[in-house]
């Protein structure tokens, strides 16, 4: 099912009150997370975990010397992240300090999420979804035999994840069990978010934003003819998404309809998160973290 959609440019006269650069001079910032008064981010090629205040200021390094830190999550007083080439899952305090290795000897850890007392993560090359306690300890393999699982989200009793080589979106209970396939036949499913009864997912190579019920069923295309959509965030009835190849930050209603371009001319935007009426985006090739006042674009 493809819902009608069109394109609409964001309001003219965009200025610093609507869009602001919180941090610059970074080396390939990749994913972002917001907690309290700070935006936390990974620098894929810079090998750093950093943070910057949500109203701007100097970027603060929390950990460096890492090997391709990838995804990031913040819970309590700790920042959790996957080290893609370092083959580890680690954490560091929100104010820096000692870096603790929670899991080592992985192959290519990618996505990460924290819920209650557990850290959930994917390992692309091992084809697994695993969990470990927030303080380390025994690792539990929840699913194996997968094909390049990447992004992950936890909602209720389930973990939702994308497998780009298997072209599918699936879920599994946080305690393990059978993998339940929700959608098949995507080209390159990647970023996802869960809101209400739906999972929203970006299909990079198909150029679409889709939604699927959390219990499966027909996949609904909300936006199409996009250029490399890579990440999504859902808030107040809208799906916000980045187009890595198109250099755009846009939104579409969770019911479908017109696509509103909020920002254009970006340099390979990647991870996004919505918090407190603002959208935060990692602009990889520009080496920047940007903040967008989404309410300025109207309902």
> What are the extents of the domains in the chain?
7-297
Could you write out the DSSP letters of every residue in 214-283? TT----EEEE-S-S-EEEEEEETTEEEEEETTTTEEEEEETT---EEEEE-S-SSEEEEEEETTEEEEEE
* Phi–psi pair at 297, nearest 5 degrees: -90, 0
- pLDDT given at position 259: 97
Mean pLDDT across 151-162: 98
Q: Over 70: is that where the pLDDT of 230 sits?
A: yes
Mean pLDDT across 99-103: 98
Q: Over 70: is that where the pLDDT of 5 sits?
A: no
Q: Over 80: is that where the pLDDT of 16 sits?
A: no
Residue 224's Cβ-count burial label (10 Å; 0-12, 13-18, 19+) is: middle
Q: Over 50: is that where the pLDDT of 7 sits?
A: no
Residue pair 242/248 in contact (Cβ under 8 Å)? The answer is yes
Mean pLDDT across 162-174: 97
- pLDDT given at position 296: 80
The CA distances from residue 10 to 71, 244, 268, in Å, are 29, 18, 19
Q: Over 80: is that where the pLDDT of 212 sits?
A: yes
Give residue-wise pLDDT tens across range 65-98: 999 999 999 999 999 999 999 999 999 999 999 9
Q: Which CATH number fits domain 7-297: 1.10.10.10, 2.130.10.10, 2.10.109.10, 1.10.10.60?
A: 2.130.10.10
Give residue-wise pLDDT tens across range 17-65: 799 999 999 999 999 999 999 999 999 999 999 999 999 999 999 999 9
Mean pLDDT across 254-267: 96
- pLDDT given at position 9: 42
Q: Over 50: is that where the pLDDT of 213 sits?
A: yes
- pLDDT given at position 298: 74
- pLDDT given at position 295: 83
- pLDDT given at position 4: 35
Instruction: Collapse the DSSP code of 193 into the 3-class scheme (helix H, G, I; strand E, B; otherwise coil) and give the result.
Output: strand
């Amino acid at each position: 099912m493809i819902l009608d959609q069109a394109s609409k440019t964001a309001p003219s006269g965009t200025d610093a009150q609507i869009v602001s650069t919180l941090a610059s001079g970074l080396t390939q910032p990749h994913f972002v997370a917001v907690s309290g008064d700070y935006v936390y981010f990974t620098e894929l090629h810079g090998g750093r975990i950093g943070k910057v205040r949500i109203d701007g200021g100097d970027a603060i390094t929390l950990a460096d010397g890492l090997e391709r830190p990838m995804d990031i999550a913040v819970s309590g007083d700790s920042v959790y992240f996957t080290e893609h080439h370092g083959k580890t899952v680690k954490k560091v305090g929100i104010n820096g300090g000692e870096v603790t290795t929670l899991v080592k000897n992985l192959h290519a850890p990618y996505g990460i999420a924290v819920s209650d007392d557990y850290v959930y993560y994917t390992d692309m090359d091992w084809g697994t979804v695993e969990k470990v306690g927030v303080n380390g300890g025994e690792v539990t393999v929840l699913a194996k035999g997968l094909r390049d699982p990447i992004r992950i989200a936890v909602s209720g009793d389930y973990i939702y994840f994308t497998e780009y080589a298997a072209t599918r979106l699936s879920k599994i209970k946080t305690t393990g069990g059978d993998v339940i396939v929700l959608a098949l036949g995507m080209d390159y499913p990647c970023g996802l978010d869960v809101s209400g009864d739906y999972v929203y997912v970006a299909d990079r190579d198909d150029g679409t934003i889709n939604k699927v019920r959390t219990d499966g069923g027909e996949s609904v295309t909300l936006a199409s003819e996009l250029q490399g959509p890579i990440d999504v965030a859902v808030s107040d009835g809208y799906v916000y998404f980045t187009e890595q190849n198109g250099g755009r930050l846009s939104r579409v209603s969770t019911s479908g309809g017109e696509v509103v371009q909020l920002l254009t001319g970006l340099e390979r935007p990647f991870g996004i998160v919505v918090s407190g009426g603002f959208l935060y985006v990692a602009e990889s090739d520009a080496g920047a973290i940007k903040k967008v006042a989404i309410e300025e674009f109207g309902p």
